[in-house]
Chain A
Amino acid sequence: MMLSMLYGVGIAFFGFVLHTSVAGINRKISGRLQKRYGPKWYQEFLDIFKLLSKRATSHGWIFDFGVIMALGGIIATAMFIPVTNNFLAFPDFDNFFIFAYLIAVGMLGMAMSASGSGNPLASIGVMRALTTMLAYDIPYMVVIVTIIKLTGTSSISGLALYQQAAGNNWFIVALPLGAIVAVLALMAGLGKKPFETYIAPAEIASGPLVEYGGKQLGMLFIMMEITHFIEVSLFVNLFLGGAENIFIFLVKYFAVYTALSLISNVYARFKIDQVVLFFYKWPLLIAIVQGFIAIYLGWVI
């Protein structure tokens, strides 16, 4: 048990290092896209360690405790991620709903801490973040439940093995409409451009992060990197057929994240009501149509 726990923390650390590097490379790529030289690929590491080396102000114990709760909750979620078929800490506990529930602990910790700062912009940011979550989670869940109904398992590594056993028949091909919904939901989950309403640096001064500086901000940056790792690896496992070995995982992970950040580079930001209306109009409709086609008509490519 103790060894599995250490293994799990190792997976969380692996996710942190992997995502921070991939995000740094993507900053370079988007720099080149804008005809700039771009920062160093390890710039995100420098940013995080710089923040951890600074002195920080506290706004009461809820403010400090919420940050620790957010980081702890996200590390606890990342422990269950199956990276490849064999590289996972808890083989029987990687049910999809574990992630759906545990990831909320980290988010709520951050929300509690941001509200504890007493800044009105932080409250607006938290409210927008939770509204966005409500908007993209419902279409996403419809697609996931369709997949679970089709395969009869809700274990993430089980789903990955199912896709590999069917001759690499990935769900991104088998359920193309559902994959579109999942990509949109993933963009919203990662806070990519059309849906990054809750960060909005010029409008609400980076939203939930408005009062953080120094160590607390550094811990929240680590938390966000691990959150993005969880979301992207869930997509890789659910729609791209998981990975037999670590190299395939790295390639798929890099491809998914780079594609999303390239798309996000050409978009402007939605307003919060546009985000909610968009997700309840098109992705929800597409997800329900996909579920109907796949389950009742049985048209799975």
Chain B
Amino acid sequence: MKSTKFSELSQEQVDRKWWEIGDFFRRNSLWMLMYCTGCCAIELPPAMTSAYDMERLGMGPMATPRQADILLVSGYLSLKTLRRLIYTYEQMSEPKYVVGLGSCTINGGIYHDSHAVINQLDQYVPVDVYVAGCMPNTEAVMNGFVDLMDAIKHKTANGWKKYRDNYDWYRQNQIASLGEVEVHDEFHE
């Protein structure tokens, strides 16, 4: 008679199992906060409505950063919007993912020589998935989301851990560009 012996699982293995179960739920229900600064935002309506129907993957737009899982940065970021992007990113609850849309988030795109625009988003907040193109078509956008789901499944979408571990480095880059990350004026007091 065959017998199965169960070996005692260590705490680490138990944690990993729970994390895998959580990852199943997280990748099948991704809620987005859309940070539409650039022209790539026009590719999102066909992705959401009946042409490509993002909801069949369990994705959908959300109203506030607290509720969202994905921060979708579509397009270029000026220094003013970068500051608000950092506020928004830090308000999101972990685990959180960032998707960069279009070439502006990769290398500055067509605005690369502007004095008011940052070139590489990766220097300020960690980006999990890039969708290249100027602008990327809707198939590419959907493909980017599927890539993000695969990355979550294979535990490679850990930008939020990177941000926590290398916080000083990110903060240093943010200060180098913005001078002061938390501004003090009459709108924020």
Task: Report A's interface with B, CB cutoff 8 A.
Answer: 27, 31, 34-40, 43, 46-47, 49-50, 53-57, 201-202, 205-206, 209-214, 217
Contacts and interface: CB of A to CB of B under 8 A. Distances in A.
Contact of A54 (B28, B64, B95): B95
A213 B93 contact: yes
A231 B62 CA distance: 26
Contacts of A212: 66-67
Q: Which interface residue of B50, B55, B65, B66 has the most chain A CB atoms within 10 A?
A: B66
Contact of A55 (B67, B91, B93): B93
Contacts of B93: 54-57, 213-214
Contacts of A53: 21-22, 25-26
Interface string B40-58: 0000000001100101101
Q: Which interface residue of B53, B56, B67 has the most chain A CB atoms within 10 A?
A: B67
Nearest to B55: A39
A50 B25 contact: yes
Given A53-B25, A209-B64, A212-B66, 10 more contacts: A39-B58, A47-B58, A54-B26, A54-B69, A55-B95, A57-B66, A201-B63, A206-B63, A212-B67, A213-B64
A36 B56 contact: yes
Nearest to B68: A213
Given A36-B49, A47-B29, A213-B67, A54 B56 contact: no
Interface of B: 21-22, 25-26, 28-29, 49-50, 53, 55-56, 58, 62-69, 91-95
Chain A interface mostly helix, strand, loop or mixed? loop
Given A43-B58, A56-B93, A38 B66 contact: no
Nearest to A121: B64
A34 B50 contact: yes
A50 B29 contact: yes
Contacts of B64: 205-206, 209-211, 213
A40 to B, nearest CB: 7
Nearest to B92: A213
B25 A38 contact: no
A297 to B, nearest CB: 49
Contacts of B49: 34, 36
Nearest to B25: A50
Given A57-B66, A206-B67, A213-B93, A46 B53 contact: no
Contacts of A205: 63-64
Nearest to A199: B63
B70 to A, nearest CB: 12
Contact of A37 (B53, B68, B91): B53
A31 B54 CA distance: 11
B19 to A, nearest CB: 9
Contacts of A46: 25, 28-29, 58
Closest 6 CB pairs of A and B: A213-B66, A53-B22, A213-B93, A50-B25, A36-B53, A201-B63
Nearest to A43: B58
A50 B63 contact: no
